[in-house]
Amino acid sequence: MDRLIKVQKKEDIFSDCQNTPVGLLLEYHNLNRELDDYDTAQLLIGMCMDNRNQLRLPANFAFIIRAGGGNLRYSEFKVSYAVAIGGINTIVLIAHNDCGMVNLFSKKEQFIEGLVNNAGWNRDWAEEHFVNFSPMYEIGNEVDFVLSESKRLRLRYPKIMVIPLFYNTQDHLLYQIREE
């Protein structure tokens, strides 16, 4: 994908993100910048709950909300709290490849069987649960979703910098996304 820009040196960081918490995030994670000390969070990170996504960050550097697909639609009060009480003025949304929230319908039977076998659910309850909630959490294409969610949050929080990024689960690096 030509929309993904790999950060291998400081100069690769988009100019509007240099010398911001986003630039620092990219330096810490991709460039192994020495971890600084922080007393307060510098940004909010919204990212997927997928265990393959692990960020290299200093302690106290970021509020982090993890949700399937990095979908913050149902975590908006937490976002507002980080802005209003935590004082953050930067949000980073991180999508990743091979996300389980893409094409959820193809996982319907596995989902139902998992709840029946692993959690002891009744099959009808499990199916109803999937049918009721999967449309809320389906994200479609990972990059398109993170771009649309960034746009939505920019409209909701017009004074807040909202930046979409992409985590590659093969090389464990963050990529910038060229927005068209």
Query: Going from the N-terminus, what domains does the chain have, and what CATH number goes with each?
Result: 4-101+139-177 (3.40.1050.10), 103-138 (no CATH)
Write down the pLDDT at residue 72: 95
pLDDT tens profile 2-26: 899 999 999 999 999 999 999 999 9
Write down the pLDDT at residue 180: 79
Residues above pLDDT 90, as percent of the chain: 98
Residue with tokens 């999508």: 95
Please give the torsion angle defined by the CA atoms of residues 27, 32, 37 and 43, in that order, rounded to the nearest 10 degrees: 30
pLDDT tens profile 96-112: 999 999 999 999 999 99
Query: For residue 90, is pLDDT > 60?
Result: yes
The CA distance from 78 to 81, in Å, is 5
